[in-house]
Amino acid sequence: MTVEINFDGIVGPSHNYAGLSQGNLAATAHAGQVSRPRAAALQGLDKMRANLALGLTQGVLLPHRRPDRRWLASLGTDPASAPPLLRAQAMSASAMWAANAATVSPAPDTADGRCHLSVANLMTMPHRSHEWPETLAQLRTAFADPAFAVHGPVPAPFGDEGAANHMRLAASHGAPGVEVFVYTLPGGPFPARQHREAGEAIARRHGLDPARTLFVQQSAEAVAAGAFHNDVVAVANERVLFAHEHAFADRDGFYANLRRLLPEVEIVEVPAAGVSLADAIASYLFNAQLVTTGDGPTLVLPEEARATPTVWDWLERHRAGNGPIRRVETVDVTQSMANGGGPACLRLRVVADPARVDPRFLVDAAKLDAIAAVVRRWWPEAIHPDALGDPALVRDIEAAHAQLLSALDLSGYFTVNQPR
């Protein structure tokens, strides 16, 4: 049975605030602060429990091995002697944001009837550019069944940041959909992370119908305001698009095309007069999980949205007016939010049959409890960025990662699925 599976990234034991992501206002604002890896991982697990309580199918993606010794070796150094910036880039726990793991096209949309996944190259940011080999190894393990096709990264120089810049709308999960690739153009104050050419390449690889595939430019205004990914200003699921008025460069043309291709579409646009871009980005109103539950479309938001008066007032008015989003849930992911990642950043949505997925990557309440026990025992309680070179911290982080892989019976996944 085809359902929506949300694969959340487990927050890794090296979670820290080094401020490496230019254009991510939260990450740079919190640079140098003390992080709480244990609390961050437990918050993420609680978010997954909340998804299970909503009746959703839940999966996990693993934190990466940190420090990335292979990457440092390719640069002629190691954790002990690397310059501080390289050391921080090698220790980054940014793979926790599974929305950047890959772009996913469900089977109803593809020419060969398989679910296709293309691992993101994340080439724009050095600390993320070395993630793809380990992410690809996980994807090849989790989706080894013939029902899936897993592709390597789009080659340089075309930047691809995965599902954070991709949306799919359909009458239902099992119906053919409209796939939307959102790209940015260079020239603003922050890097253009998602290139149109990358989206076009992925659409060709996945065998998408060109007539039902849209390439839409993110507005320069949104990028300049701190919307470094489309999912900071827009989110979609099934027939609902939830977006800020200033999310897209040509919103009228985009909306017209959506209505032409999917007459059932319900576009929920938040006007700038009601919620400014600044408030939308600070609260991560749109960096939410938009999911389908028994109560209809449900928005899973960070607690910061409730604490932002313009945002919460707008949501209350929308529900009072019988808008399509009928239920709102909030989750505490403050440790992730301080590094610029909300509920949507933490998950990769895959529409597929769970029976075709490697069961080691699917979780229930008992498995989440087992992961939490590892986190409580092995994850560092606190990390200051100045301590990233401490050999004792490095040993603790590597030991914690090994304990998690052992608990999930996944210790050998990287060796078995070494990227080619």
Q: Which amino acid is at 187?
A: G
408 neighbors 141 (Cβ within 8 angstroms) = no
CA geometry: angle at 231 spanning 101 and 38, to 5°? 60
Residue type, 397: I
Active site residue 161: yes
Given 206, 229, 244, 401, the catalytic residue: 229
CA distances from 15 to 90, 100, 323, 380, 381 (A): 12, 16, 38, 9, 10
Q: How far is CA 195 from CA 150, 209, 215, 349, 409, in A?
A: 21, 20, 10, 21, 37
Question: Which residues are paired to 290 by β-bridges?
Answer: 299
229 included as an active-site residue:
yes
Q: Which of 161, 179, 238, 245 is catalytic?
A: 161
Residue tagged active-site, from 30, 115, 116, 345: 345
116, 184 in Cβ contact below 8 A?
Answer: no
Residue ranges of E strands in 108-264: 115-119, 148-151, 166-169, 178-183, 213-217, 234-237, 240-244
Alpha-carbon torsion (352, 356, 361, 363), positive or negative: positive
Nearest of 197, 208, 262 to residue 236 by alpha carbon: 262
Query: Measured at the alpha carbon of residue 271, what is the angle toward residues 267 and 277, in degrees to the nearest 5?
Result: 115
Strand partners, 103: 118
286 phi, psi to nearest 5 deg: -95, -15
Q: Other CB atoms closer than 10 Å to residue 42's CB: what's the count?
A: 19
Distance, CA of 66 to CA of 384 (rounded, Å): 16
Q: So which residues are the catalytic ones? A: 161, 229, 345
